[in-house]
Chains A and B, each alone.
Chain A
Amino acid sequence: AQRVTQPEKLLSVFKGAPVELKCNYSYSGSPELFWYVQYSRQRLQLLLRHISRESIKGFTADLNKGETSFHLKKPFAQEEDSAMYYCALSGHTGRRALTFGSGTRLQVQP
């Protein structure tokens, strides 16, 4: 069974501080990992995926297969980063639906 765990419900930091949102997964195979973000009153949107290894809005995430983790990081948080962040997994065995973690609310205070 596939599972995604986000241990923090809420992460509160000050503007300019580094941010790390944790995500651990379990999957017997090679999953595809994503981070989705939901800003207030907006739809869920893709932030980044592990296969593209890119930085979006200053955020990066590295897949660590040994630790089965896909933590999201940003060196300097901005107030506009405040949102709900979801880590998600998609398997490669015909099941394309995403398995989401429970989400972490990031609050960036001025």
Chain B
Amino acid sequence: DTAVSQTPKYLVTQMGNDKSIKCEQNLGHDTMYWYKQDSKKFLKIMFSYNNKELIINETVPNRFSPKSPDKAHLNLHINSLELGDSAVYFCASSLSSGSYEQYFGPGTRLTVT
């Protein structure tokens, strides 16, 4: 009964490839997020969706394309992977009103070689 789950946990791939990371939450939340944690452990917001609608799109290369098929899912597709994309990607979810506590997934460690 994991609250926020991500697949895969680890992803090793070569430069130039295209890959996807999936996220699912069973908390009934209406807002989902993607964060990137770099090698220095710094966490930064990338995207946020509310009820399948994109509401935050930070300065992220357009090789990154999020997709939210429904409120419970938020996927991240990355085209033409580069070495600098290596990081841990965290999915999170929350309600858009009331408590803004965000629940995080376990993270996906992406290594681009």
Q: Is the interface of B mostly helix, strand, loop or mixed?
A: strand
How many inter-chain residue pairs (CB < 8 Å) link A and B?
50
- Least CB distance from B43 to A in Å reads 4
CA distance A44 to B41 in the complex (A): 12
Q: Is the CB of B56 within 8 A of A98?
A: no
CA distance A68 to B103 in the complex (A): 25
A43 at the B interface (CB under 8 A): yes
- Least CB distance from A57 to B in Å reads 16
* A104 to chain B: closest residue by CB: B41
Interface size on B, residues (CB 8 A): 26
Q: Which residues of A contact B (CB under 8 A)?
A: 32, 34, 36, 42-46, 49, 84, 86, 90, 94-100, 102-103, 105
Cross-chain pairs A/B with CB under 8 angstroms, 25 sampled: A43-B4, A43-B90, A44-B43, A44-B90, A44-B92, A45-B104, A46-B101, A46-B102, A46-B103, A84-B41, A94-B55, A95-B56, A96-B31, A96-B48, A96-B100, A97-B33, A97-B45, A98-B35, A98-B43, A98-B45, A102-B41, A102-B42, A103-B41, A103-B43, A105-B41
